[in-house]
Structure 1
Amino acid sequence: MKVVTYLSDENKELERTKEENTGYIRMKKFKFIMLLFCVIFLTAGITTAAFALGDKKAVNVNNRPEFDKLYQAYDDIKANYYQNVKSQTLIDGAINGMVESLNDPFSDYMTKSEASQFHDTISSSFEGIGAEVQEKDGYIVVIAPIKGSPAEKAGLKPNDKILAVNGKNIQGMSANQAILLIRGKKGTKVTLTIQRAGAKDQSKLTITRDTIPVQTVYPEMLKNGVAKIQITTFSDGTYKELQKAIDQMKKKGMKSLIIDVRQNPGGLLDQAIKIANLFVPEGKTILQVEDRNGKIQKYVAEDGTKIKVPTVVLIDGGSASASEILAGALHESAGIPLVGVKSYGKGTVQTAIDFKDGSNLKYTVQKWLTPNGEWIHKKGIQPQYKVNLPDYANLPVIDANTTLKRSSVSSAVKAAEQMLKALGYHPGKVDGYFDAQTEEAVKAFQADEKLKVTGVLKGDTTNKLIAKVSELITKNDTQLKKAESVVKKEK
């Protein structure tokens, strides 16, 4: 049996392996990419050194009376069930039941076949739709889409519930099971049934899988020497990417800095610690970890290069895990303001065990705390300056494969009317009814975008409409504008 301590459920991560009967401990790197394209970033972990694993003592099950009922149930089912049942099926079910009883979305069990399929898909390519999900209250919920991914382009948002995949109901499935259905090869399509947070209506969204961008840092020089650097995830090379980005911005005259971790679902903690170390003064706490007995270990900033220009951090509901560790460290230990809306709230650490038969068990072992000792799990981090995006940034998704035309009535029509209105067109009453005014607004939009003028919303017209609204959100980024204002005051 192999025991693995997770730093993160994303990209390359360090693992501690303990081979039983030898006591041999070794360190290695391995890829564990869990997005909806093949990657899902659900765990913010801690460096392996924090979790030295003691020797595992063999359990003598013959002297464990608490297992008597389990053995009796197993024997009775094997002997009397009306169909033959494989022993492994019952064993997998028993372990899965124990994990489910924890009621922890970050603890999971994969059977040999599930683990094999999962790892085969992971190691093959960076392809899929590009979003992070988790199981929450029986639903598969989006934490964040990846920048530039098909999921982002299609309009998938944090807190969207995925109810079905290609018509298959996935309620009650684990995140791993859902991911195996959602991801796939580049060029193939997957249809998701989506319910937006706070909405009653459902909508279908067909997404074409693609290669997911591997770049994680995006620098941009704004006005008056204000540099904005977006970090989309904490991957193996993110720290080095950030160093290069900072050097680029310095050459362009950087006088102040905005770190944007909105929609960043987390990743490798060692990268978050290295980045935090650029801003947190030596000796100050970056984060703390606490075990089940209340024992706390602190991680403090070390000496080294420090970024001393005025800085602000942007966060939102898609900022999770390692993003929250970075935001908490910079705010509490370096006095850096946070702008945006409340972060996601992921404050636990997981360990995984790979069994000899190829199955895998992952479960929560610790929680992490901010420098001030706050546990932000399920609460998130509140920004110092709360700023919402415009209402049209949270509109329901529209499936480009659905035909919306004269006399159509649906929530998708209402969303289209709201989009058209936000772009300056006049669709008439925003009520979900595709009337003559809506048709004329669509025609005007098609003419302006040099599309075939039909008055029908489908395919290229729908995709272009979504793209233009996305551009409008970027142009009217109220959170970024507030961050620019705040960082100027910090000088």
Structure 2
Amino acid sequence: MKRFQFAVLLFFIVLVTAGITTSVFVFGNGKNVLKERSEFEKLYTAYDTLNKEYYKKVDPEKVVNGAINGMFDSLDDPYSDYMDKEEAASFHENISSSFEGIGAEIQELEGHIIIVSPIKGSPAEKSGLQPNDKILAVDGKSIQGMNASEAVTHIRGEKGTKVKLTIQREGVEETLNIEIVRDTIPIETVYGEMLEDGIAKVQITSFSTNTTKELLTALNDLQQEGMKGLILDLRQNPGGLLPQAIEISSLFVPDGEILFKVEDRAGNIEEYKSSNNNNSDTPLVVLIDKGSASASEILAAAVKESANVPLIGEKSFGKGTVQTAQDFDDGSNMKFTTSKWLTPKGNWIHEKGIKPDYEVSLPEYASLPYISPDKELKVSSSSNEVKTAQEMLTVLGYDPGRKDGFFDDKTKEAVIAFQKDTQLEANGVLKGESTIKLMELVRQHIEKNDTQIQKAVEVLKTLIDA
């Protein structure tokens, strides 16, 4: 067995991504040398037998990698896996501040690769990917049984190249084929704006190297504009760098109060506390949803349990474990779960998520599936895509006459009206630019009629007036 060098101890690794920063918390350096032990005799015997007697030449590196992969598969832990040299290289690229891909956080769950959250402004978001979408195939090749690291190598790619994902979505009978053009993933992570009556909204899309700095700048600008209350939007935030989450949590949690705890296998618990004595006294509410994971859950739990900040939206994703990563001398890598993190009150949210104080869902049309622009929807067409298009037209105020998936003359009239209003060729056929524009306007409509934001404003006003 080869010796391996201990490279970095990661605390709170966000799920492996297909084009997004992976969070790292470095604790220290050291060595760990594997010693020869009797329990490995069976492994050696199997290796030697295959190497000598298999009917064709065995690739030693491939066989050893397979054996290590088998060890990690046996743990039945989606956050523990072995990465060969290529996968490890992708893993380390994710730690850098610049990357190219589709911009979606993915995770292996029960043999499936699922979307945790698309990133704001990313190709994944623009193409209509949603949390909990299952990726069945990439460019026609099945990825069933792959771990997240393996799947990433198929999904990621250079800016401008295309990748086609075959998606299974809950509540949709047919699979969806979504073509995405890879791009540079936006590294800006904080978006601030004034809403109404002195209420400001700041969205944090992930916790990257400069997130705290970006947030402080945004808050300062909003203060100058007369901010009286703040909505902190952590929806669709898959996590990121833990130190950033700690710094940001400390902005809103009183000095000395617990942010989170870490419990090891022996039951030993270490507490992490707020170290900022200049906390803001601006009334605050926080938005979460099923795409809020990892570091964003630490922040949400910290402000909820240590600062009595109301949470609004939907139950969060639920990741409450801690991982270690180690590099082998040949460039391969392994990461595995070492402990779990707990909320300030000692709650373990793993696979449970954080329940908001005010449960509010987005309108049903916010979950409408993606329509492939390559498909031609016209009179006499009958499909789920037509049904989705009819529902989208209805949302935008165009009457298709029916919403059962059959494209008739009334639906054509609605499409023509939509095309005329958007300066597109008014041919009554949904394809290409018309389909893309339809989906874009529905997304804009969802943003303008955001029921979760509306509830946040309502709650925040009561806090301001209190």
TM-score (norm 2): 0.95
Amino acid across the alignment from 1:48: V
Distance 2:319 2:210 in 1: 23
Whether 1:60 and 2:19 are equivalent positions in the alignment is: no
Residue among 26, 34, 54 paired with 1:48: 26
Name the structure 1 match of 2:390.
417
Match of 1:197 in 2: 170
Shift of 1:427: 1.5
**Structure-1 residue corresponding to 2:216:** 243
After TM superposition, which residue ranges in structure 1, 4 or more long, deviate above 6 angstroms?
A: 120-124
- Residue from 1, 6, 21 that aligns with 2:10: 6
Question: What secondary structure sits across from 1:456 in the alignment?
Answer: coil
Aligned residue among 129, 154, 158 for 2:102? 129
SS in 2 for 1:48: coil
Structure-2 change in CA distance of 1:121 and 1:228 (3 Å): closer
User: Paired residue for 1:97?
Assistant: 70
Instruction: Indicate how the Cα distance of structure 1 residues 147 and 94 shifts in structure 2: closer, same or farther if over 3 A, else same.
Output: same
CA shift at 1:149, angstroms?
Answer: 0.9
In structure 2, what is the equivalent of residue 16 of structure 1? none
The one-letter amino acid paired with 1:5 is L
3-state SS of 1:366 partner? strand
Q: Which moved more, 1:163-172 or 1:192-201?
A: 192-201
Choose the corresponding residue for 1:295, options 268, 273, 288.
Answer: 268
Structure 1 residue aligned with 2:55: 82
Q: Give the conservation status (yes or no) of the 8 Å contact 2:264–2:338.
A: yes
Structure 1 pair 405–77 and aligned structure 2 pair: CA distance change class (3 A): same
Contact 1:191-1:206 within 8 A present in 2 as well: yes
Is the 8 Å Cα contact of residues 277 and 306 (structure 1) preserved in structure 2? yes
Secondary structure in 2 matching 1:5: coil
Q: Offset of 1:371 from its aligned partner?
A: 0.2
Whichever residue aligns with residue 408 of structure 1, its letter is S
- Deviation of 1:108 (Å): 1.4
Residue 34 of structure 1 deviates from its aligned partner by: 5.5
Q: What's the CA shift string for 1:49-107, capped at 9, x where partnerless?
A: 4xx67763x4431xx22222212211221122111112211111110000111111111
Q: Which range is displaced more, 416-425 or 71-80?
A: 71-80
Q: Aligned-pair distance for 1:218?
A: 0.5
Unaligned runs of 5+ in 1: 11-32
Deviation (angstroms), 1:395 = 0.9
Q: Which amino acid aligns with 1:298?
A: E
**Aligned counterparts, 1:434-453, within 5 A:** 434-453=407-426
SS of residue paired to 2:191: strand
Does the Cα contact within 8 Å between 2:21 and 2:97 map onto a contact in 1?
no
CA distance 1:334–1:116, shift in 2 (3 Å): closer
The answer to whether structure 1 residue 166 and structure 2 residue 139 are counterparts is yes
Q: What residue ranges of structure 2 are gaps of 5+ in the alignment?
A: none
2:338 corresponds in structure 1 to 365
Distance 1:273 1:114, change over 3 A: closer
SS in 1 for 2:290: coil
User: Would the aligned equivalents of 2:323 and 2:339 in 1 still touch at CA under 8 Å?
Assistant: yes
Pair 375,120 (structure 1): closer, same or farther in 2 beyond 3 Å: closer
Distance 1:157 1:428 in 2: 28
Match in the other structure for 1:344: 317
Q: Is the 2:259–2:273 Cα contact (8 Å) retained in structure 1? A: yes
Cα shift at 1:118: 5.6
Q: Give deviations 1:104-136, integer Å, cap 9, x for gaps.
A: 111111112433466579869532211111111
State how far apart, in whole Å, the 2-side matches of 1:463 and 1:167 are. Answer: 23
Q: 1:225 is matched with which residue?
A: 198
8 A contact 1:9–1:40 mirrored in 2: no
Counterpart for residue 313 of structure 1:
286
Q: CA deviation at 1:475?
A: 0.6
In 2: Cα distance, 1:210 partner to 1:271 partner = 25
SS in 2 for 1:144: strand
Q: Which residue, 320, 323, 335 being the options, matches 2:296?
A: 323
State the aligned residue count. Answer: 460
Aligned-residue offset at 1:200: 2.7
Retained in 2: the 8 A contact 1:190–1:207?
yes
Amino acid corresponding to residue 35 of structure 2 in structure 1: N
Taking the aligned partners of 1:224 and 1:402, their CA distance within structure 2 comes to 45
Q: How much does 1:473 deviate?
A: 0.4
SS in 2 for 1:278: helix
Q: What secondary structure sits across from 1:193 in the alignment?
A: strand
Aligned partner letter, 2:9: T
Which residue of the partner structure matches residue 263 of structure 1? Answer: 236
Percent identity between the two aligned chains: 55
Deviations 1:299-349 (A, max 9, x none): 111243211111000000000000000000000000000000000001111
Closer, same or farther: CA 461–263 of 1 in aligned 2, 3 Å: same
Match of 2:347 in 1: 374
**Range with greater deviation from structure 2 (468-477 or 148-157):** 148-157
Query: Matched residue of 2:266: which SS?
Result: coil
The 1:255/1:119 distance shift into structure 2, 3 A limit, reads closer
- Matched with 2:402 is 429
Distance 1:54 1:373 in 2: 31
RMSD over aligned CA atoms reads 1.9
For residues 382 and 45 of structure 2, what CA distance do their matches in structure 1 show?
Answer: 57
